[in-house]
Amino acid sequence: MKIKNIVLIGSLSLLSFASCTNLDENVYDKYPAQTFYGSAEGADVALAGVYAQIGGNWGGVGYAGADNGWYDLNCMSSDEQVIPHRNTGDWQLDFAQLYKHEWLPTSALVNNTWSWLYKSIFNANLAIDQLENSKADASKIAEAKVLRAFFYYLLIDDYGDVPFYTKNDITVDKIPQASRKVVYDFIVKELNDNIELLSGTKGGNYYGRFNKWAGYTLLAKVYLNAGVYTGTPKWTECLAVCSKLNEAGFSLHSGSANASSPLGNKYYELFGDVLPDDETILAIYTTVDVVSRNIFTVRSLSGSNAYALFGYNGWNGTIVPKDYYLKYTDTDIRKKQFLVGEQAGGVNYSATVTSLDNPGAGPQEGVRNTKFYPAGLNNGGGASNDFPIFRYADVMLMTAECNVRLGNAAAAKPLVDAVRQRSGLTALAADPTLIDIYNERGLELNWEGHRRQDMIRFGTFLLPNEFRGASQPYRKLFPIPTAALDANPGLKQNPGY
């Protein structure tokens, strides 16, 4: 069962309690911080201030769900999606510049993502301080520390060497810049020290919170990319952490036919309003215009196409590049998420896109994506589809990748075959290669925020595509934003910028 944002839990209980008191005799709505944050309700309020940063909303806030933030920066710099400037004058050039690897230190999305992550770290530091000073339950303190590790992981993944601090008693201009390896080591230690203190509960109050299993998945992600971050791979360590998730009893959700689904298969329940807990490990809770939002389908479809399907106009924005779309075979149920050719509302989407920026794409150019087919409350500003940050199919493919890299491809085969067969494909004819793993990750996890990281790890991020030549190696990192350099003269810009 999906639980409302935990911000509401402490706030509403306090309000109801205060309204029933005689304020002339006793003031119950004011508590010493130590007393309040040491209670279960107060601890959840402290944590809610951190979790509130994860849901996507306007202005570049959040991990995923809205626009101009972390999700767009990471997904549109990969090969899986882009918003072209339209030759009708619609859409800014920022997204095309990301896809063509032409971003600058002044780019809005580069700055938005940086600002969001540091606001999140500030909030996490504050929560840790509140919880530790009040001697809150150890599991709550651990949860705040794992959240902070999550944000630092995203920072080093995008920016490399970053300002690093764990106490909010320092001004922005004095925060020292730490190497990627130093921050990586901190993340690994924080996770190893705290994960076992987290709750083992799945779903319920922990549907959208870091429990033990989400913590281990995060640690596996960090180890999976250790070679990129530090130069020293950690395949054995990643494999060991992935194996711990077997204790939780996760499994692949069914891919069988479902006539009640707009896309025809139970598989797409993984991207609906309440995500199934057999496969979902960590999700973003979303109710449009209340908590977060999910714009991904309405942003992709044209106005008249969306109106014919949902009763409100689409934004005619995000498209799937033709080369990516062509990776899917017709027997793959995951191909059902794409719209190409004649569609409701009198539109005809062409797979070919003639230009991303000058003069731009035609209004009906580009394959569209309905993976997050609007669910729950929905309108022209988005839908209530929850977003899977981590799910078990990813863990299975991480396990397979580690096995192949460690020379045990035979152990990887049943894992890759299970993901393929769930989607209607046949088993591999032989043990998987790294190329097989890479391809399957692309087919399974598209539009879920993993592609840029995968491309860098597999060495494909710099390769040319139909809209640009080969990129220079420095593009594997985003630049430190100009605004951050201006605010902290001690920071050193990433090479190449």
> By the 8 A CB rule, do 213 and 280 touch?
no
| Residue 220, phi then psi, degrees to nearest 5 | -60, -40
Give the tens place of pLDDT for each residue, 411-435.
999 999 999 999 999 999 999 999 9
Q: Which whole-number Å values give the CA distances from 320 to 78, 329, 473, in the listed order?
A: 11, 15, 25
Q: What is the pLDDT of residue 34?
A: 72
H, E, C per residue of 190-237: HHHHHHHHCCCCCCHHHCCCCCHHHHHHHHHHHHHCHHHHHCCCCHHH
Q: What is the pLDDT of residue 5?
A: 40
Average pLDDT per block of 10 residues along the chain, 497 residues long: 38 29 42 80 95 94 97 98 97 98 98 98 98 96 98 98 98 98 98 98 92 98 98 98 95 96 97 97 96 97 98 98 98 98 98 97 98 98 98 98 98 98 98 98 98 98 97 98 98 98
**Overall CATH class of domain 7-284+389-462:** mainly alpha
Which of 400, 424, 402, 423 shows the shortest CA–CA distance to 413?
400
Q: From CA 294, how far away is CA 332, in angstroms rounded?
A: 25
Give the tens place of pLDDT for each residue, 121-139.
999 999 999 999 999 999 9
Q: What is the pLDDT of residue 18?
A: 29
Two tokens at 126? 């504050």
pTM, two decimals, is 0.94
Burial class (CB in 10 A: 0-12, 13-18, 19+), 126: middle
The neighbour count for residue 105, using CB atoms within 10 Å, is 17
The neighbour count for residue 114, using CB atoms within 10 Å, is 24
Q: What is the pLDDT of residue 31?
A: 60
Q: What is the pLDDT of residue 472?
A: 98
> By the 8 A CB rule, do 215 and 198 touch?
yes
Q: What is the pLDDT of residue 28?
A: 42
Two tokens at 423? 């989607």
**Amino acid at residue number 433:** T
The neighbour count for residue 76, using CB atoms within 10 Å, is 23
In the beta sheet, which residues pair with residue 354? none
**Helix segments in 286-391, DSSP class H:** 296-300, 303-310, 322-325
Tokens 């939780």 identify what position? 248
Q: From CA 354, how far away is CA 182, in angstroms rounded?
A: 45
| Residue 294, phi then psi, degrees to nearest 5 | -130, 105
Q: From CA 435, how far away is CA 414, in angstroms rounded?
A: 16
Two tokens at 418? 């299970």
Terminal CA-CA length for the chain: 47
| Residue 192, phi then psi, degrees to nearest 5 | -65, -30
Which of 225, 236, 161 shows the shortest CA–CA distance to 456?
225
Q: Is the peptide bond before 359 cis (omega within 30 degrees of 0)?
A: yes
Written as one string, the DSSP assignment of 163-190 is E--SSS-S-GGGPPEE-HHHHHHHHHHH
Which of 254, 282, 283 shows the shortest CA–CA distance to 269?
254
Where are any strands of DSSP class E within 234-353? 280-284, 338-339, 341-343, 347-349
> By the 8 A CB rule, do 251 and 279 touch?
yes
Q: How many CA atoms lie within 13 A of 317 on its CB side?
A: 21
